[in-house]
């Protein structure tokens, strides 16, 4: 009986001690506040999709894989092709696993753009450098150190409305991947005409199988000396 009473109360305690989420963005000299609390909230309005908590997504088929459960934002930020966007994390605690930055081109207005279908592609990523999986030589270790990540919008990206998705994949628990992804709305200007090949476009969720070697991995055992992030590489036709 005691546990029945305690369980709901415990469930209400936000797990802010670990984990993390993108909490703001910087483009040029402008800082765009992201969402920093626990949904739902209406103030301030943000360019970011609201998300419910700092907790990880554990399975590749979970709807939270796309934007940590968020489905819309009130604002969007202008950015030029060739300009950088810096995502900022108020907290981040893991140092093993890749950073991956994705875009999705909207067919029209943001109000009708939810990132459905096979339209997500990477513009930036960093996995492991060196050959020791159980090390701090990972993209996410740089987020741990700097609490930010800067990526260039490809110079030849076609202008339009885009969703940007910052994804941290934490691999510190053997064979228990933790995904952390947040999304925001960008209006890209420029005169690019780049057209990605279809083999660089993915649906999210399920851009990779749960048993992808870049997803389900034991960094402490197994003798691996290299790592390939799930979801392919950044298209070589992009100009940075």
Residues near Cu ion (CB under 5 A): 18-19
Footprint (CB under 6 A) of ligand NAG, residues 145-164: 150-152
Binding residues for ligand NAG, rule CB under 6 A, total 6
Q: Of Cu ion, ligand NAG, none, which one sits near residue 19, judging by CB under 5 to 8 A according to partner kind?
A: Cu ion
Under DSSP, the state recorded for 115 is -
Question: In this chain, which of 124, 161, 167, 190 binds ligand NAG, going by CB under 6 A?
Answer: 124
Q: What are the structure tokens assigned to 24, written together?
A: 């703001």
Kindly state whether residue 174 participates in binding ligand NAG, applying the rule CB under 6 A.
Answer: no
Q: How far is the CB of 59 from Cu ion (least distance, A)?
A: 15
Could you tell me the smallest distance in angstroms from the CB atom of residue 235 to Cu ion? 30
Q: Which among 174, 179, 83, 175 has a CA at the least distance from the CA of 123?
A: 83
Backbone angles phi, psi at 163, to 5 degrees: -95, 135
* Residue number closest to Cu ion, CB atom: 19
In the complex, minimum distance from the CB of residue 151 to ligand NAG, in angstroms, rounded to a whole number:
4
Q: How far is residue 216's CA from residue 133's CA, in Å, rounded to a whole number? A: 13
Toward ligand NAG, which CB reaches closer, 58 or 152? 152
What distances in angstroms separate CA 194 from CA 81, 124, 236, one per listed residue?
11, 16, 11
Min dist. Cβ of residue 94 to ligand NAG (A): 21
Closest CB 12 distance from ligand NAG, rounded Å: 39
CA triplet 190, 194, 196: central angle to 5 degrees? 140
User: Which ranges of the chain would DSSP assign to H, the alpha helix?
Assistant: 2-11, 64-67, 139-146
Contact predicate 27/77, CB 8 Å: yes
**Residues 69, 63: Cα–Cα separation, whole Å:** 7
Q: Which of residues 72-91 bind ligand NAG (CB under 6 A)?
A: 84
175 binds, among Cu ion, ligand NAG, none (CB under 5 to 8 A by kind): none
Q: Point out which residues bind ligand NAG (CB under 6 A).
A: 84, 124, 150-152, 240
């Amino acid at each position: 009986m005691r546990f029945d009473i305690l369980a709901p109360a415990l469930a209400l305690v936000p797990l802010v001690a670990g984990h993390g989420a993108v909490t703001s963005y910087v483009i040029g000299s402008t800082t765009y506040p992201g969402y920093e609390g626990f949904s739902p909230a209406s103030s301030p309005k943000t360019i970011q999709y609201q998300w419910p908590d700092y907790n990880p997504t554990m399975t590749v088929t979970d709807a939270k894989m796309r934007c940590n459960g968020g489905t819309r934002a009130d604002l969007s930020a202008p950015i030029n092709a060739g300009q950088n966007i810096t995502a900022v994390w108020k907290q981040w605690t893991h140092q093993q696993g890749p950073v991956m930055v994705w875009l999705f081109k909207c067919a029209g207005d943001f109000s009708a753009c939810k990132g459905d279908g096979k339209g997500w592609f990477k513009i930036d990523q960093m996995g492991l450098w060196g050959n020791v999986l159980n090390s701090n030589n990972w993209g996410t270790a740089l987020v741990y150190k700097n609490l930010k990540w800067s990526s260039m919008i490809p110079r030849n990206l076609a202008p339009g409305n885009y969703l940007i998705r910052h994804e941290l994949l934490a691999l510190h628990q053997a064979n228990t991947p933790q995904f952390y992804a947040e999304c925001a709305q960008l209006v890209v200007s420029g005169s690019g005409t780049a057209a990605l090949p279809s083999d660089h476009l993915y649906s999210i969720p399920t851009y990779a199988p749960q048993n992808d070697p870049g997803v389900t991995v034991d960094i402490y055992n197994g003798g691996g000396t290299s790592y390939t992030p799930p979801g392919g590489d950044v298209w070589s036709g992009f100009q940075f």
